[in-house]
């Protein structure tokens, strides 16, 4: 069975732009707890939130999120 792994660079990109979790959460209209869950890889966002995150981090979707399949 193929295992799908979705990872992200939110923590790295956020640190590079000197943003706090709270600031990023406000920019995307979500709670800080959701940003924490995303950074910990415990939550996969909707496409809408993924785009919002990419815009808030001044980046592209594929730079923020990585998709991999593991057999």
Partner 1 sequence: MRTVRSLWQVLIVLALIGCLASLFGPTERRWGVDVGAVGSSVFSLALLASVILVSVWPRDAFPDHWSLAESRAWVGLIFTALLLCGFTDYLLGVAALEEVPRTFHDLPRHQFYWLLGVVAVAWGVTSGVLALRGGPALDERDLRLRHQADRLGDWALSLLIIACVVLLNAVPAARLDWWLEPVILANVLVGVLMTKLLVEHAALAFGYALARR
Which positions touch partner 1 (CB under 8 A)?
Answer: 25, 29-34, 36-37, 42-43, 45-46, 48-49
Nearer to partner 1, 37 or 55 (CB): 37
Nearer to partner 1, 31 or 60 (CB): 31
Angle, nearest 10°, between helix axes 32-39 and 21-28? 110
CB of 46 to partner 1, least distance (A): 5
Residues 6+ apart with CB under 8 A from 62: none
Nearer to partner 1, 21 or 57 (CB): 21
Whether 9 and 64 have beta carbons less than 8 Å apart is answered as yes
């Amino acid at each position: 069975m193929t295992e799908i792994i979705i990872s992200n660079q939110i923590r790295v990109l956020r640190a590079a732009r000197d943003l706090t979790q709270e600031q990023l959460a406000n920019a995307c209209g979500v709670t800080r707890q959701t940003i924490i869950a995303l950074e910990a890889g415990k939550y996969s966002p909707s496409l809408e939130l993924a785009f919002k995150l990419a815009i808030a981090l001044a980046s592209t979707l594929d730079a923020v999120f990585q998709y991999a399949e593991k057999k």
